[in-house]
Amino acid sequence: MSRDQTESIIKQIIREVGQEHEAQGQTVSETLVAFMVKAVVLDPRNDFHVDQILTKQDVQNLIQLCVTRLLDTTNPSLSTIKMQVYFDMNYANRAELLSEQHRVLEGRLAPVVRDITDSRPHVQEEMENVYRKIVSYVLLRSGLGSPTDIEVVREVTAALQSVFPQTEMITFISLSKKNKEQQLKTLAMLVTGIRLYNKACGKGGSSIDDLPAILKEAIPSATQTVDEGLNTCHVLAHQYTALLESMQEDLRRYTRLSSFKLKEALFNVRQYEAFLCILLSDVITSAQEVEKMDVQFAATMEQLKKTVQNKISIDTKEVFPLFVTLSNLWTGFQDELLLLSFLTNMTNNLQPFSEIQSQLFPEEVLTSLLEGVTVKSDEERIRETMGTRVNVSDFKDQEWLFPETIDNFDQLLIQYHGFCAHAIGVKGLTLPGNPAIGILKHKERCYVFSSKEAAYIFAQDPDKFIQLNVEKAREHAELIQLLELHHQFEYLAPYAQARNADKRLMKPTTKCDSSTQTDTHILPPTIVTSYEWNEWELRRKAIKLANLRRKLTHAMQTDLSHIRRDNSTQVYLPKGVSTQTKRDNSSNVPRPQIFLEGLRGGSSPTTHMVKVDLTRPVDET
């Protein structure tokens, strides 16, 4: 049978089971019906084979069994499954819940933001209209007061005008859409901080609730409610466990109590206890966050008062960050109030799933059943086994861990929700495991036990007892989630569990004392004498080796290589060479010396010039 055909048959079965319930005047969710269908198929007592094709008769039998189990309101198993389905469909951790809340808030504000950022006012009246929309946005985003309260609107308008007067609307309109959205968020935080400061100074904020005071009253109330539920679960779980143990020891008591669905009731109480522990952990985390934010809020407010005091003008760089801090802390208070309301609603809505305990076992009936039975609490069982411990040397092929030898013990995932791995399949009991006895690590999974004897028996053949636990979960489908057996039944894993599947196999980090020693110098010293650390010395040597002092670098660029890459070439300069073709010679001749006399005239009217040649003869030179 193909996958599509199988899914089609399952959908048909779910639809017919739902129709049968509607005919009986009851309405059930498809998720609950789907889980019940798979639980009926897994139960070996119903003789359904998952690997075989279901005939029409098998389908009809399956539908009838599902309807019968869903209509059996006296069976604690049905209440447990309903509880598990409700918790899986409605519970969300802190990060998921706050993320969803912020997403919803952004979705509600999106039309207002879009109306503001897309507007293009031109006249004064349109400017004022956009400004009023900004006031509405700031008020809606802060959540401090009703937009229909005139006093609140005036207070928000006055605070907004102190940081964003209407004269700046022209600048705001010229911004891009993204910058407008960012400035709107900043303005909302500034206005919120100003209103909170004014409330602290007694100058307004009458519509602002005192969230820190409300949380300080609500958190202890929520914690007390969860604690009371847990105490009731602990008492019932201890009593049911004692009755089941007495049934296995006394045959007459077994005959008397066999008609009571004690195991199913025990599983219901244990599952309710597990869910309440999750909610209590979230409440404690919320209380810690509120305490931390309360201190920060008081310190920021005091710093702001000292900064402002009675000054007429204040630097915005000093007070604006403080206003933003106040706004963020107040948003944190609002988130914690939302979380606390969610956790309170979850606690109240889980309580009806455990009411079947009082119907099956009224107080007087339970008191009569417990006559002569010793009831031990989980803490007493653990204290009784604190002195016992597994001897690791008795097991050659098994790895045992202990809390003092594991660095990340708090983060270590213990199988079966910390219950004894031996008692589940053998006795059908959820006994608390004691890690001090020893933690068996088998196939990358860790198991704890309620006694040393149980640990030794389980360690002899772990796979056998693991399969017994799986078979027990097939008979009681509520154990799949209670014992966290989703890796054995992947197709039944809730969405929340499948999403965190990668966190389920956290490996333990073992720790031990160890030391190492090494020689000071393993290898003989090798000093390179030619090594140079100076970069300029290395350049000098490179230039010397290349003999670049007598070279000249040329570069040229053409139209084809323009703006493509730099090309360079290097050539040797032409060597200067000279030749001699003739011999230069010289000779000396007498220097001519000729003198003229009488050129200036004399006493006689006639001038007589006399030329005298005093040049030496050539032969005298």
Instruction: Tell me the two tokens of residue 257.
Output: 């109590």
| pLDDT of res. 564 | 60
pLDDT in tens, 207-227: 888 999 999 999 999 999 999
Would the CA dihedral through 267, 273, 276, 277 be positive or negative?
A: negative
Element counts in the chain: helices (H) and strands (E): 22, 7
Cα–Cα distance for residue pair 303/427, rounded to 1 Å: 64
Q: Spell out the alpha helix ranges (H) of 351-420.
A: 356-360, 363-369, 378-384
| pLDDT of res. 507 | 42
Q: Find, among 229, 344, 228, the residue nearest to 283 by Cα.
A: 344
Indicate the domain borders of the chain. 3-71, 119-201, 220-370, 378-488
> Distance of CA 481 to CAs 238, 244, 365, Å?
21, 22, 30
Contact assessment for residue 228 and residue 272, using Cβ atoms and an 8 Å cutoff: no
* Per-residue b or e along 227-241, where b marks 16 or more CB atoms closer than 10 Å to that residue's CB: eebbebbeebbbbbb
DSSP E strand stretches across 338-407: 399-401
Sheet hosting strand 399-401, strand order edge to edge: 399-401, 439-442, 445-447
Find residue 441's DSSP bridge partners: 399, 446
| pLDDT of res. 475 | 86
Cα–Cα distance for residue pair 131/124, rounded to 1 Å: 11
| pLDDT of res. 223 | 94
Would the CA dihedral through 543, 549, 551, 557 be positive or negative?
A: positive
> Distance of CA 206 to CAs 335, 435, 456, 506, Å?
21, 55, 68, 51
Instruction: Tell me the two tokens of residue 618.
Output: 């050539």
| pLDDT of res. 506 | 38
> Distance of CA 534 to CAs 428, 542, 543, 548, 549, Å?
79, 13, 15, 20, 21
Per-position DSSP letters for 90-110, written without gaps between them: H---HHHHHHHHHHHHHHHHH
Instruction: Tell me the two tokens of residue 494.
Output: 């809730």
| pLDDT of res. 554 | 64
Instruction: Tell me the two tokens of residue 92.
Output: 């969300």
Cα–Cα distance for residue pair 414/446, rounded to 1 Å: 5
| pLDDT of res. 496 | 44
Cα–Cα distance for residue pair 208/118, rounded to 1 Å: 31
Which residue numbers in the chain have pLDDT < 70? 1-7, 49-52, 251, 254-256, 258-259, 310-313, 490-514, 519, 521, 548-568, 601, 621
Cα–Cα distance for residue pair 17/30, rounded to 1 Å: 9
By DSSP bridging, strand 445-447 and strand 439-442 are: antiparallel
All residues at 6 or more sequence positions from 271 whose CB lies less than 8 Å from its CB, including other chains: 80, 83, 84, 478, 481, 482
Q: If you count them, how many residues does the chain have?
A: 621
| pLDDT of res. 548 | 58
| pLDDT of res. 66 | 83
| pLDDT of res. 51 | 63
| pLDDT of res. 577 | 76
Q: Find, among 37, 36, 32, the residue nearest to 90 by Cα.
A: 32
| pLDDT of res. 551 | 64
For domain 220-370, the CATH class is: mainly alpha
By DSSP bridging, strand 594-597 and strand 610-613 are: antiparallel
Cα–Cα distance for residue pair 227/220, rounded to 1 Å: 10
| pLDDT of res. 271 | 94
How does DSSP classify residue 476? Answer: S
